[in-house]
A and B are shown apart, each in its own frame.
Chain A
Amino acid sequence: MDITRRQFVRLCGGTAAVVLPFGLTRCAVPRPAHELIEDVEWKKGLADAVLRATTSRGATFADVRVVRNLIQTIAADDQQIKGVPGEWHYGSSPEHVLEKVDIGFNVRVLKDGAWGFAASPVLSEDEAVAVAGLACDLAEKAARTVPEPIRLVPEPVHVDTWVTPHQEDPFAVPLDEKVALLLRINEEVRKNPQTDRAFSWLDFWDENKFYANLEGAEIQQRLVRSDGSFFARAHVDGVTAQRRFFVNPLNIGYEYIRGLDLPSHAERIAAEAVEKAQAPMISIDGQMDVVMDPQNLCLFEHETVGHPTELNRTVLVETNFAGTTFLAPEDMGSYEFGSPVMNFVADRSRPMLRSTCGYDDEGVKTQEWDVVREGKLVGFQTTREFATYVGEDQSRGCCMTESWDRVPQGRMPNVSLEPGGQDAPSPEELIADTRRGLLFSGFSSRIVQDYQRRYHTYTANAVWEIENGQKTRMLRGAHYYGQNPSELWHRLETVTNPASWEPAALDSDDIGQPTQRNHNTHGAPWARFRNLNVGGPAS
């Protein structure tokens, strides 16, 4: 196979080359991967080689991703930099302060109507061509089981570069400074003598993704993520309680962390942890008005609207592990999901949100679309493979892969509850307008839900009573629950104004076999639900 001079230069990254026996041409000195990953021309050359190889095998579609994930996690447990306990990352956690570099590429092909996928951490043309051939082999075998050929909806060809807008590279900020920040937060928390533990963390991601496909797309992206927060734990009269300061994780640079002034919130959070430990257990078991803040709503949104509207769940792709959904494709346009003030937008294009990028992991330009409009289900999360299941001729751009060694799959984008109009109340006005109710603040992962996302029980990081328009005392153990999401969302009565909308987000979202992490925002205003079922510890 002939290669052009331009391709040759790309492959060699401009280094000297030698002519080897049998007419093969190779670079004299292999360049390290951390250099190659920054060389877009080299990556284009690699993609050319891969795509030629798949074309020669008869693939009808093929794409290649060259990925570097750089992750830095720093956590401080009181004055020690060490393990990460409890409710962090919505799951388990690394045991040490960590920096991780992960580099590799993958090739996905559609051949004979079936997918094949192969990946490697070795960045070289020879490896890339071999991996492309392997992906074709796998697709040919899978095709023997596919009843109908997989087809993709069309997408315009994009050649572009996209970078998360940011001012200060989080990885360029000295470690000393980050460690000092965490230790200072914890010191401030522990000034409250009734606290017995402070825990703080910072988490940064830098994803370098190059994507190309057989249709001609060539997309270089860099996603920068910054997150960090802390919690205070109090132990009073034998009761332990934890209160978290909720930061909305964003795609942004370190300037975000600087602007948060985290230590300035430590005194309040410590006091609230003590208040929580001293709070009485809820004695109510019945119906009550509930006000939720954006950070409490975000998990509720994630589980009751986000996962159920993943189209691949509705068509039983995730049955073996993550589960299914109470929705079916034919519900689009007819299912009454909630009250008329329930409006949900999905997007991957709103600035700074966690799922926001220029293009998804199969080259689809990111966008924004309605999922629920005035209480009615009007949209699903789709990929180029699944869009036709709901009669759409273009993907919504929800194909994602966490890293080079994970197969692309449909994943949840940002899915957010819209605020009311400019005349809608502020959060303060909403509370003032609530005669008797409960305020749920911040999410807690101690939820109860089934694998079809029907029954739900939620709690919060902190719950206050509202009496005659005033936030009064904290309560412990309060939950709200419903037989299905629709029952809960039909009780949504008021959402606050646009100024109160916040880009709340979970720390991560993990599904798949093998599991893949995902990042998404569930923005929300404050909201009041009428007559929700509330009660004591989860049931």
Chain B
Amino acid sequence: MILTQEEVRAIFDTAFEAATADEVDLSMAWYHEVNREVVCGSTKVIRFSNSYIRDDTVVQPCHPLQVHVGFGNREGAAITNQLDPAGIRDAVARAEAIARAAAPNESHRPLHGPQEYPEIPGFDEATAALTDDERHEAVAGVIERLQADGLNGSGYFHVDDTLEAHANSAGAWFYRRATKTGYAVTVRSDDTTGRESSRIGSGWAAAGDLRRFADLDIPGITDVAIAKALGSVDPQPFEMGPHTVVLEPNAAASFIRLLMGVWSGSARTVGAWGAPSEAGTQVASEHLTLSTQPGHPQIMGSPYGPGGMPLGERVWVENGVLRNLPGGENGPAVHLVGDGGAKSLEDVIAGVDRGILMTQNWNTMLRTIDPPHVNGMTRNGLFRIEDGQLAGPLQNAWYSLRLDEFARNIEDVSRPCKTGSFGSSGLNGNLMPALRVANFNFYRPSEAV
């Protein structure tokens, strides 16, 4: 069972009582460690490949306790998933031992006291109560279809029932339950593998970080991937160089994530950090507006921000003008919503005389900071656009461009859609529009599928 408020308070009280540090900050929450996501709660995953279920996993509730302590500005931290009194006391003792040994942290900031957090419901009882049979039924139809059509499908479907709780020695307290589900699927037109696979078709589609299973359209997402797979068989080479490109929301998200890092000055490459842009600067075309909206009905994210400060709505970019810089008092650029107006993806495509539609991308990385230069490659469906219509599959290709020019070359946007990335370079569970971008530079074709 997921811990109740009372149970969490009792665990936190044990930790507070054990601590001798000046400051104690306790958390039970999802966290990220070295490319590994750790769920606080239960997680159930169905992973299928070659169009059959190969892993169905249930991890019973686990509530890792994160203990952060400070003696003055000497800090230490420890994590344990053993919540018996001995385990809790051991974690506190280890955190304190580290803090005593640590050198002073000159950027140490004192803890915030009690705060008022917006009420953002994120828990869906029906999703938490989803049975294993229901989870199986959710993908069984998809798998039957893939098998019947001779398609090769690989998918990832998860349902998490999570807890987020925080308390500190300054009196702050936060407790929130949330459910989380998502689905990603790759469909290949057949099961050819190795070097012979470069003529087959491959399609991908996903949606991530939804609160309600009822909002996750697994058959619909799979339909999109199947259509892309069947539509991308025998991809054709195309002329390298600048093209007008429509990036579907998941592909656009990779670039938005990097842009936010560049504008905030947090982007980095090896040994180099960028300088932040100045608020008030026109950093993108007037089509781009981005904000953090934890309470958006399609986001329903946590209102608990870094250091315990409430996380509210904040506009980052408005009609291409940088209004606020992510980080510090402004909070992080999470729960992003791209304000895209009313057009559908099809409407955006219809506005392109000659161009390219990009579904997904890979290895999109910042190579230099100044200028902000990225490259990467397309994946799982690249299509020619002619006279506002899709006009056949194209070979995957590498691209290389300047991010600042990319932002200024945005010519059109769609209404935003829920994105899914699951470990790739996009933004999982944000609301991103499709982008039409001029002068998007491709430089090398690829046979990889």
Contact = CB atoms under 8 A, between A and B. Distances in A.
B156 to A, nearest CB: 4
A93 interface: yes
Given A87-B270, A142-B53, A320 B86 contact: no
Nearest to A538: B367
B115 interface: no
Given A86-B268, A145-B140, A446 B194 contact: no
Nearest to B68: A96
B215 interface: no
A517 B35 CA distance: 8
Nearest to B379: A451
Contacts of B387: none
A513 B36 contact: no
A127 B77 CA distance: 30
Interface in B31-85: 32-37, 43, 45, 47-60, 62, 64, 68, 75-82, 84
Contact of B34 (A175, A325, A510, A537): A510
A241 interface: yes
B293 to A, nearest CB: 25
Nearest to A131: B60
B236 interface: no
Interface residues of B, number: 99
Interface residues of A, number: 101
A508 B34 contact: yes
Contact of B60 (A74, A121, A515): A121
A138 B82 contact: no
B158 to A, nearest CB: 8
Given A241-B271, A317-B49, A326 B195 contact: yes
Interface string A79-118: 1111001110111111011111111100000000011111
Interface in B86-109: 86-87, 90-91, 94-95, 97-98, 100-107
Given A80-B105, A175-B101, A314-B193, A444 B270 contact: yes
A444 B367 CA distance: 12
A391 B374 CA distance: 43
B444 A513 contact: no
A317 B54 contact: yes
Contacts of B101: 174-176, 178-179
A134 B133 CA distance: 12
B267 to A, nearest CB: 11
A55 interface: no
A183 B422 CA distance: 37
B334 to A, nearest CB: 15
Interface in B322-371: 362-363, 365, 367-368
Interface stretch (B147-155, B255-263, B283-291): B147-155
B271 A315 contact: no
B86 to A, nearest CB: 5
B446 A455 contact: yes
A159 to B, nearest CB: 28
B448 interface: yes
Contact of B363 (A94, A127, A450): A450
B12 interface: no
A137 interface: yes
A134 B49 contact: no
Contact of B103 (A80, A86, A325, A405): A80
Contact of B271 (A86, A115, A141): A86
Contacts of B133: 141
A277 B100 CA distance: 37
A323 B373 CA distance: 25
A121 B62 contact: yes
A97 B87 contact: no
Most chain B CB inside 10 Å of its own CB: which residue of A74, A98, A147 = A98
Contact of B52 (A147, A179, A331): A147
A512 to B, nearest CB: 8
A119 B271 contact: no
Interface stretch (B3-11, B13-21, B168-176, B180-188): B180-188
Contacts of A445: 270
Contacts of A122: 60
A328 B195 contact: yes
Interface string A10-21: 000000000000
Contacts of A94: 33-34
Contact of A314 (B103, B105, B194): B194
B281 interface: no
A5 to B, nearest CB: 27
A233 B270 CA distance: 10
Given A80-B105, A85-B268, A513 B77 contact: no
A238 B144 CA distance: 60
B78 A99 contact: yes
Interface string A169-212: 00000111011000100000000000000000000000000000
B79 A451 contact: no
Interface string B424-449: 10000000000000000001101111
B58 A119 contact: yes
Contacts of B319: none
Given A33-B87, A316-B49, A316-B154, A137 B195 contact: no
A251 to B, nearest CB: 18
Given A115-B55, A242-B271, A539-B375, A319 B35 contact: no
A451 B84 CA distance: 44
B197 interface: yes
Given A33-B84, A96-B76, A145-B51, 7 more contacts: A100-B79, A101-B91, A121-B82, A176-B101, A316-B188, A323-B362, A538-B375
Interface of A: 30, 32-34, 74, 76, 79-82, 85-87, 89-94, 96-104, 114-122, 127, 131, 134-135, 137-139, 141-142, 144-147, 174-176, 178-179, 183, 231, 233, 240-242, 314-321, 323-328, 330-331, 402, 405, 407, 409, 444-446, 448-452, 454-455, 508, 510, 513-517, 537-539
6 contacts: A94-B33, A115-B54, A145-B144, A316-B188, A316-B193, A319-B154
